[in-house]
Amino acid sequence: MTRTNGKVSDLPQSKRVPHTPETAAQGVQTAIRVLEGRWKLVILFQLFGGQVRRFSDLERAIPGVSQKMLIQQLRQLEADGVVARIVHHQVPPKVEYHLTDWGQALCPALDALLIWAEGAPSGPGS
């Protein structure tokens, strides 16, 4: 198991707001919407720890993803403020991606989900 929370440093402090069950569910649904997609979590794990990766590096590191799907998933993550895109104007074009501070703050939450999933009962109704 690869732990991710040791790679997070100087994360922004969030202001905790008391939640009702309804607002808590709505907040988690919003988070899941940002993360849903076949390749988004794989992309995030490729970028955790301050990694800056070129598009071609991500494409090679994620077997089975099409170029179109990778572009689509990266654009959605960028639109949601999780990933930042840097375009270097040169020939050939060079595009790099990295996590924003907010994206890097996902690291401990995903680490906790990974630990939770490892403790899942083995089988239906267990």
Q: What are the residues facing 53 on neighbouring strands?
A: 97
pLDDT recorded at residue 18: 85
> What is the reported pLDDT for 19?
83
Task: Going residue by residue through the chain, which has 126 residues, state the pLDDT in tens, using 9 for 90 and above.
Answer: 444 444 444 444 556 678 899 898 998 898 999 999 999 999 999 999 899 999 999 999 999 999 999 999 999 999 999 999 999 999 988 999 999 999 999 999 999 999 999 998 876 666
32 CB neighbour count, 10 Å cutoff: 9
Query: What is the per-residue pLDDT for 14?
Result: 55
Secondary structure (DSSP) of 99-119:
E-HHHHTHHHHHHHHHHHHHT
The pTM for the full model equals 0.78
Query: Domain 37-116 falls in which CATH fold?
Result: Arc Repressor Mutant, subunit A (1.10.10)
